Chain A
Amino acid sequence: MPQSKSPSAETPDLSVGFAGLRLKNPVMPASGTFGYGEEYSPYMDLNRLGAIVTKGLSLRPKAGNPTPRIAETKGGMLNAIGLQNVGMDVFAEQKLPFLKEVQTPVIVNFFGNSLEEYGMAAQRLSQIDGIAAVELNISCPNVKQGGIVFGTDPGAAAEVVGLVRRHLNVPLIVKLTPNVTDITVIARAVEEAGADAISCINTLTGLAVDIRRRTPRLANGTGGLSGPVLRPLAVRMVYQVVQAVSLPVIGVGGIMTAEDALEFLIAGAQAVQVGTANFVDPAAMITIIDGLQQFCQEEGVSHITDLIGSLHC
Chain B
Amino acid sequence: MKNFNTTILSNQEVSPDYYRMKILAPGISDSAQPGQFVMFRSQATNEPLLRRPFGIFQTGTLASDCEGMPAKEFVEILYKVVGRGTAIMQELHEGDRVELLGPLGHGFDLSADGSEVILVGGGIGLVPLYMLASELVKTNKVRLLIGGRSRKDVLMVTEFERLGVETYVSTDDGTLGEEGPVTQVLQRKLTKFPGAAVYACGPMPMLEAVHRICQPRKVKLQVSLEAFMACGVGACLGCVVKGAGHSEENPRYLCTCKEGPVFDAEDLDWELLEKRMNEEGHSHE
Question: Interface of A with B (CB < 8 Å)?
Answer: 32-35, 39-40, 42-43, 55, 61, 63-64, 66-77, 79, 81, 84, 208, 210, 212-213, 215, 217, 219, 227-228, 276, 278-283
- CB neighbours of B227 from chain A (8 A): 67
Check if A281 sits within 8 Å of B3, measured CB to CB: yes
Q: Known contacts A69-B237, A69-B238: does B281 contact A281 (CB below 8 Å)?
A: no
Check if A283 sits within 8 Å of B230, measured CB to CB: no
Check if B231 sits within 8 Å of A278, measured CB to CB: yes
User: Which of A64, A73, A208, A282 makes the CB contact (< 8 A) with B231?
Assistant: A282
- CB neighbours of B191 from chain A (8 A): none
Check if A64 sits within 8 Å of B282, measured CB to CB: no
User: Which of A72, A74, A84, A279 makes the CB contact (< 8 A) with B283?
Assistant: A72
Residue on B with the closest CB to A212? B281
User: Which of A66, A84, A208 makes the CB contact (< 8 A) with B237?
Assistant: A84
Minimum-distance CB pairs A-B, first 8: A63-B251, A70-B238, A35-B235, A279-B230, A210-B281, A279-B231, A39-B235, A69-B238
Check if B231 sits within 8 Å of A72, measured CB to CB: no
Q: Tell me how far the C-beta of A158 lies from the nearest C-beta in chain B, rounded to whole angstroms.
A: 31
Q: Tell me how far the C-beta of A170 lies from the nearest C-beta in chain B, rounded to whole angstroms.
A: 24
Q: Tell me how far the C-beta of A202 lies from the nearest C-beta in chain B, rounded to whole angstroms.
A: 16
Check if B279 sits within 8 Å of A228, measured CB to CB: no
Q: Known contacts A70-B238, A81-B237, A212-B281: does B49 contact A281 (CB below 8 Å)?
A: no
Residue on B with the closest CB to A74? B285
Q: Tell me how far the C-beta of B161 lies from the nearest C-beta in chain A, rounded to whole angstroms.
A: 38
- CB neighbours of A210 from chain B (8 A): 281-282
Complex CA gap A272/B41 in Å reads: 25
- Interface residue ranges of B219-246 to A (CB < 8 Å): 227-231, 233-241
Q: Tell me how far the C-beta of B114 lies from the nearest C-beta in chain A, rounded to whole angstroms.
A: 34
User: Which of A67, A279, A282 makes the CB contact (< 8 A) with B50?
Assistant: A279
User: Which of B1, B228, B285 makes the CB contact (< 8 A) with A43?
Assistant: B1
- Interface residue ranges of B95-114 to A (CB < 8 Å): 99, 101
Complex CA gap A29/B258 in Å reads: 20
Check if B240 sits within 8 Å of A281, measured CB to CB: no
Given contacts A71-B228, A74-B47, 5 further A-B contacts (CB under 8 A): A35-B233, A71-B283, A210-B282, A212-B281, A278-B235
Complex CA gap A219/B241 in Å reads: 13
User: Which of A34, A42, A81, A280 makes the CB contact (< 8 A) with B238?
Assistant: A81
Q: Tell me how far the C-beta of B270 lies from the nearest C-beta in chain A, rounded to whole angstroms.
A: 15
Complex CA gap A98/B134 in Å reads: 38
Check if B281 sits within 8 Å of A72, measured CB to CB: no
- CB neighbours of A84 from chain B (8 A): 237, 240, 251, 253
CB of B143 within 8 Å of the partner chain: no
CB of B22 within 8 Å of the partner chain: no
Q: Interface size (B, Cβ < 8 Å)?
A: 37
- CB neighbours of B47 from chain A (8 A): 74
> Taking each of A40, A67, A68, A213, which has the highest tally of chain B beta carbons within 10 Å of its own beta carbon?
A67
CB of B67 within 8 Å of the partner chain: no
Q: Known contacts A63-B248, A67-B241: does B50 contact A280 (CB below 8 Å)?
A: yes
CB of B188 within 8 Å of the partner chain: no
> Taking each of B1, B238, B276, which has the highest tally of chain A beta carbons within 10 Å of its own beta carbon?
B238
Contact with A along B177-219 (1 / 0, CB 8 A): 0000000000000000000000000000000000000000000
Residue on A with the closest CB to B48? A72
22 A-B pairs whose Cβ atoms sit less than 8 Å apart in the complex: A33-B235, A35-B233, A39-B234, A39-B258, A67-B276, A67-B279, A67-B280, A68-B238, A70-B236, A71-B285, A72-B49, A72-B284, A79-B236, A215-B281, A219-B279, A228-B46, A276-B230, A278-B231, A279-B51, A280-B50, A281-B99, A282-B101
Check if B238 sits within 8 Å of A79, measured CB to CB: yes
Complex CA gap A84/B240 in Å reads: 11
- CB neighbours of B101 from chain A (8 A): 43, 282
Q: Tell me how far the C-beta of B209 lies from the nearest C-beta in chain A, rounded to whole angstroms.
A: 21
User: Which of B51, B231, B253, B280 makes the CB contact (< 8 A) with A68?
Assistant: B280
Check if A64 sits within 8 Å of B253, measured CB to CB: yes
Check if B235 sits within 8 Å of A64, measured CB to CB: no
Check if B228 sits within 8 Å of A33, measured CB to CB: no
Q: Tell me how far the C-beta of B280 lies from the nearest C-beta in chain A, rounded to whole angstroms.
A: 5
- CB neighbours of B41 from chain A (8 A): 280
- CB neighbours of B282 from chain A (8 A): 210, 212, 217
Complex CA gap A67/B240 in Å reads: 7
